[in-house]
Structure 1
Amino acid sequence: MWAPTIHGVHFQRPDPARWLWYAVGGTLADRYRSWVLWDLTASTWVLRHFARVMVLFAPLWLLLLVPGPLSLRFSMVAAGYVTGLYFSLSFMEDACERRLIKHGYPVGLNRRIREEAETGDRAEIVALYASYHQDRLD
């Protein structure tokens, strides 16, 4: 398992099966809480959201098995991707906040960390909040 330490807080990354569960909306165990906070507030949070969305859209390729002209089948897949991406990217901040709430963090924490990160080190801020909220759970 990958368990780096950033400013004294350990981040344990979930294995691929747990990450898939997390990507489709599942809640991870408490030992992954710090990683979830980091995942949703890292400087690459938009790309990470996009990766989770691509996992959700993978079943759209099954539409290619529907009988009919190939161009129609590819059009169905493309329409599904475009529509899904539009709505997913439109509501990505809300989706990330909902994930944090499911993992026991307070409302608005992701926005607060991102706003504070503009003036400081994002990893340090995440570690600070992770340790604070970990202490409150114990």
Structure 2
Amino acid sequence: MRADRPSPLQWLWYAVGGRLPDSYREWVLYDLTSPAWVFRHLARAGVQHTVWLLLLLLPIPLTLRLWMIAVGVSVGVVFSLSFMEDASERRLIKHGFPAGLNRRIREEATGTEKRAELAAMYTAWYTDGRGEPAS
């Protein structure tokens, strides 16, 4: 897929939650469904967490400022990873795509054989072999 890429300023706006013009819809869809969508999400989250650098301006000891930044970024990244599928879906909806499209595209790309294998492993691990929950 060859889609127009946003300019660096437009990408920054997009990274902090802004909506891109309709001419970038294909790129947004690619951004949120490509094989590297998790890394792309982390790049957007990294931009959002640069706000923690403002703590460097506080008139407190440097070590305390650095620890505050480390804690803020680490908690932020954990939350960002926890809600990355929801955030991706909200971005797609914001750009005019139907809900659930990103998950559907990613599932089709990974193939049904892999999902069936994972479901079988899950069932074997969490049941006693007769379909009853393991105790």
Structure 2 length-normalised TM: 0.80
SS in 1 for 2:81: helix
SS in 2 for 1:55: helix
Other-structure match for 2:70: 78
Choose which of 88, 104, 117 in structure 2 pairs with 1:112: 104
Give the match's secondary structure for 1:43.
coil
**Corresponding residue to 1:48 among 6, 27, 40:** 40
CA distance in 2, matches of 1:90, 1:59: 20
Deviations 1:26-45 (A, max 9, x none): 11111100000000000000
1:24 has 2:10 as partner: no
**TM-score (normalised: structure 1):** 0.78
Task: Provide the C-alpha distance between the structure 2 equivalents of 1:119 and 1:87, rounded to a whole number of angstroms.
Answer: 28
Long gaps (5+) in structure 1: 1-5, 121-138
The code of the aligned residue for 1:56 comes to Q
Residue 89 of structure 1: aligned partner: 81
Work out which of the two has the higher radius of gyration on C-alpha atoms and give 1 or 2: 2
For structure 2, which runs of at least 5 residues remain unmatched after alignment?
113-135
Aligned residues: 112
Identity %: 62
Paired letter, 1:74: L
Q: Which has the higher contact order (CA 8 A, sep 6+)?
A: 1
RMSD between aligned residues = 1.2
- Alignment of 1:65 with 2:57, yes or no, is yes
